[in-house]
Amino acid sequence: MLAAFQAYLSSFSFLRKHGLAWFLWFPFIITFLVFFGGFSLTSWATESISLLLKASLENVAWLPEWAGFISDVLYWLLWIILRILLYFTFAFIGGSVILLLMSPILTWLSELVGEALGGEETTFSITQFIRDLTRAVGLALTNGFYQILLSILCLGIGFIPVIGAASPFLLFAINAYFYGYNFMDYSLERKQFSPRASNRFVWRNKFASLSLGAPFAAWNLIPFIGPMTSGFIAIFAAVAGTIELDRISSKKINAK
């Protein structure tokens, strides 16, 4: 577990040393697009719903004089409510959304890090890229489903006296494990592991997965700022995951 944390700490210097620091532009662009899209969607929803409400109010015979005032009040209430919902949406799942959108970039970064660590140089193939991307997205969605399901169960445990005290720690461990799984899987994907084989490998190395995912999970607990900047942490985590997988593989080879 300590080796995984050390890989995290050395990831930034690794990016600079091997000329890969330009990858940090990607989370900036994706985060901007996600937040711009979120605010654009809430603005559109506010306008659309308020127009429907205004039309309904105008059809009420006893509200001709108050219809305009009421519609204005409802517009601003909608504006506030939808943006609060947007805030909580980003606070709880913003990191996962950005991580999912960054899957192709993190896969590419893992390949370059693997090459820098002495692995074989990979040649680009659009067919293989689409296959890897489909696998990465599919696995991320599957893991996300189990992550949410287990998180709900943990929240339920929280209502049980005495045992419920362990709920926050279990919840954090579950999120850390699945985040770490994603960061390790970029290398496993490159090594042509099937999803089932990836499941077995990550479970056998569960403590490495926990230590890789823990910083990302902890960062996402920071209200708003954490999910908003989680893409940058994902870059470092993908590098750390690739370094850690290389260490585990080398250890097994030397043990033979």
In a domain, residue 150? The reply is: yes
pLDDT tens-digit series, residues 33-92: 887 888 888 888 888 887 777 777 666 655 566 666 677 777 788 888 887 777 777 766
C-alpha span between 57 and 73 (Å, rounded): 12
Q: Is the dihedral of CA 43, 217, 142, 182 positive or negative?
A: positive
Residue 159 is assigned to a structural domain of this protein: yes
Q: Establish if 66 belongs to a structural domain.
A: no
For the segment 99-126, what is each residue's pLDDT rounded down to a tens digit?
778 888 888 888 888 888 876 556 656 7
Residue tagged 């009040």 (tokens): 73
Evaluate whether residue 87 is within a structural domain. Answer: no
Q: In whole angstroms, what is the distance from residue 136 CA to residue 159 CA?
A: 35
| Angle at 45 (CA atoms; ends 61, 81), nearest 5 degrees | 85
Question: To 5 degrees, how large is the angle CA 28–CA 32–CA 36?
Answer: 175
Range with the poorest average pLDDT among 10-14, 69-73, 165-169: 69-73
Q: Euclidean distance between the first and final Cα of the chain, in Å? A: 22
DSSP secondary structure string for all residues of 118-152: TPPPPPP-HHHHHHHHHHHHHHHHHHHHHHHHHHH
Q: Which residues contact 178 (CB under 8 A, 6 or more apart)?
A: 143, 144, 146, 147, 213
238 occurs within a structural domain: yes
Residue 136 has pLDDT above 60, yes or no: yes
Backbone angles phi, psi at 65, to 5 degrees: -80, -30
Q: Is residue 36 part of a domain?
A: no
Distances (CA, A) of 22 to 17, 18, 78, 114, 226: 12, 11, 40, 17, 21
Number of structural domains the chain divides into: 1
- Lowest mean pLDDT across 130-134, 159-163, 192-196, 228-232: 130-134
Question: Does residue 254 carry a pLDDT above 50?
Answer: no
Over residues 162-187, the mean pLDDT reads 85
Residue 39 domain flag = no
Residue 99 included in any domain = yes
| Closest residue by Cα to residue 206 from 166, 242, 172, 174 | 174
- Share above pLDDT 70 across residues of the chain, in percent, rounded to a whole number: 83
Q: Which domain holds residue 187?
A: 2-21+93-255
